[in-house]
Amino acid sequence: MDVFTPMLNQMAVLFLFMLTGFVLCKRKLAPDNTGVVLSKLETYIFIPALNINNFMTHFTIENISSRWQSILCSIVLLLLAIGLGFLLSRRFGQDAYSRRIYLYSFVIANFGFMGNAVIQGVFGDDMLFDYLIFTLPMVIFVYTIGLSWITPGASGKLSLKTICSPMFLSLFIGAALGLSGLQMPSFVSTTLSSAAACMSPAAMLLTGFIIGTFNFSSLFKGKRIYFAIFLRLIAIPFLFAGILKLLGFSGSILICALCAYCMPMGLNTVVIPSSYGGDTKLGAGIALISHGLSLITIPVIFAIFT
């Protein structure tokens, strides 16, 4: 129940925003280009603000030096996840781009919005701070190589287009501010925090709106989706938690790793393709189904390993 209650609350928030976006679309209460507008706001304002706000707060010399083991563990698990992702994604998707959507989904879960809420709700603010440090390498990966995977028309590798994106550049700005210790004027910090807080609600509204553009039942079709979700929600978390247990890891590192990798598939597979005019049906389907099923899988996995 300690895990189930905060998870249920967060899922309720998630689906309420999704439902709002879905109703806005189906009832024609918002313009047809609402999805494009929301995705542009995410890409050019909300996500960059979140990156700058997080990195200028947590990417400091003190945090890196005092939690180097946690960061190193995060990097090793991320590399392992990438290797597994390439191995598994070959069997999914009917074209190169859909395979990259699956690849991204195997490697990166919703460790941000969902993960932060579960960690804070179950283990408190101190563990949340450790978790934010643990996930720094994952954030860097998401808005560099990960971004190139899910951007329509991209090669799947780092390119000038990726490097010049506001999401990528915001990482450098935030890291420079964090390492230098420079203090932003209070009104700038408040603006960044306010914009960053809009990221998750806007992403969920966008997901709901995009879901509303499709035949709802069609999102639940396809055996590949369910097999991919099984791997993401059950097989990968069990594998990583088992490895850490065998290596003798426990405490905050085990909890942070478990939370980062047992979350449902992320929303960037909807947000980024939508921003660049790509196909969002696959991303919307796996996001919707995996978030619903995670209400069962996350409490079970936490009960087994913690």
- For residues 62 and 71, the answer to whether their CB atoms sit within 8 Å is no
Is the pLDDT at 132 greater than 60? The verdict is yes
What is the per-residue pLDDT for 74? 95
Q: What residues does 109 pair with on adjacent strands? A: 265
- Residue pLDDT, tens place only, 76-120: 999 999 999 999 998 887 788 889 999 999 999 988 877 877 887
Structural domain containing residue 246 = 4-305
- For residues 280 and 210, the answer to whether their CB atoms sit within 8 Å is yes
**What are the residues whose beta carbons fall under 8 Å from the beta carbon of 4, sequence distance 6 or more?**
299
Q: Across all residues in the chain, what is the average pLDDT?
A: 86
- Residue pLDDT, tens place only, 230-282: 999 999 999 999 999 998 888 889 999 999 999 988 778 888 888 777 778 88
**What are the residues whose beta carbons fall under 8 Å from the beta carbon of 13, sequence distance 6 or more?**
none
Give the count of beta carbons closer than 10 Å to the beta carbon of residue 214.
14
What is the per-residue pLDDT for 156? 63
Percentage, residues of the chain above pLDDT 90: 34
Largest CA distance in the chain: 55
What is the per-residue pLDDT for 155? 64
Q: Measure the CA–CA gap between 126 and 140, rounded to whole angstroms.
A: 22
Percentage, residues of the chain above pLDDT 70: 94
Going by C-alpha positions, the residue among 129, 69, 123, 83 that lies closest to residue 249 is: 69
What is the per-residue pLDDT for 87? 93
Angle at the Cα of 48 (from 59 to 181), degrees rounded to 5? Answer: 30
> What is the total count of domains within the chain?
1
Instruction: Tell me the whole-structure pTM to 2 decimals.
Output: 0.83
CATH number of the domain enclosing 32: 1.20.1530.20
Overall average pLDDT of the 26-38 stretch = 89
- Residue 96 structure tokens: 């190169």
What is the per-residue pLDDT for 112? 81
What is the per-residue pLDDT for 182? 87
Overall average pLDDT of the 20-29 stretch = 92
Q: Measure the CA–CA gap between 242 and 90, rounded to whole angstroms.
A: 25
- Residue pLDDT, tens place only, 206-238: 888 888 887 777 777 778 889 999 999 999 999
Q: Measure the CA–CA gap between 226 and 232, rounded to whole angstroms.
A: 10
pLDDT band at 162 (very low <50, low <70, confident <90, very high): low
Helices (H), the chain: 4-26, 34-41, 47-58, 61-66, 68-89, 96-107, 113-123, 125-134, 136-141, 147-150, 160-163, 166-180, 186-197, 199-212, 223-230, 236-246, 251-262, 268-275, 281-305
Rg of the chain over CA atoms, in angstroms? 18
